[in-house]
Amino acid sequence: MKKILILIVFIILLLVGGYFLLFQSKHSEEIVTSSASLEEVSAQLELGKALYYTHCASCHGDNLQGQPKWKTSLDEDGHNYAPPLNGTGHTWHHSEEQLYNIIRYGLKFYNENYDGKMQGNDKLSGEDVWSILEYIKSVWPESIQKKYKTMTKH
């Protein structure tokens, strides 16, 4: 009886450990630690800025200002104009997870019928996406950054 109990406990521990290992490895590229050094943070922001200008600025603007009329009208193809990412739009109302998924996978991630211009960036790694997101957040006014930290605090 004791051997069976030990075997059951061992199997349960094995299953739980396997689950956490699988979960951790599946999401490991998406984790950004808060214990990064100042140099690492600076390097991440520089990378994010460079990637933003390469992959995002053509629609969202060099100063993250978005396109004129982004709130009120559609472009010639019937799509929404790109919103500002500088804290004056609605970007900061979304969780980091939502923003990550929109940048990485496009708005189709949340609406399978979406056929707009924000289709995602399969050329970017998870680390690249986090770097872009950190750069975008760094541009927000301090008041928006504080609100965002409060809003996303777990």
Q: What is the pLDDT of residue 119?
A: 83
Q: Which residues of 109-138 are buried (b: 16+ CB within 10 A; e: fewer)?
A: beeeeeebebebbeebeebbbbbbbbbbbe
Q: What is the pLDDT of residue 55?
A: 95
Q: Are 66 and 85 in contact (CB under 8 A)?
A: yes
The phi, psi pair for 74, rounded to 5°, reads: -110, 155
Overall pTM > 0.85: no
Q: Give the pair of three-digit tokens for residue 82.
A: 């790109």
Which residue in the block uniquely carries the two structure tokens 């349960």? 12
Q: What is the pLDDT of residue 121?
A: 86
Q: What is the pLDDT of residue 92?
A: 93
Compute mean pLDDT per 10 residues along the chain, 154 residues long, and list them.
72 64 49 67 94 96 94 88 94 94 92 84 93 96 93 75
Q: What angle, 0 to 180 degrees and rounded to 10, lies between the N-to-C axes of helices 96-105 and 126-139? A: 120
For the domain covering 37-152, report its CATH number: 1.10.760.10
Q: What angle do CA 44, 85, 99 make, to 5 degrees?
A: 70
Look at the alpha carbons of 92, 95, 101, 102 in this order and tell me if their dihedral is positive or negative: negative
In the chain, domain spans: 1-29, 37-152
Strand partners, 74: 80
Q: What is the pLDDT of residue 131?
A: 97
Quote the DSSP letter at residue 125.
Answer: -
Q: Give the pair of three-digit tokens for residue 31.
A: 């984790």
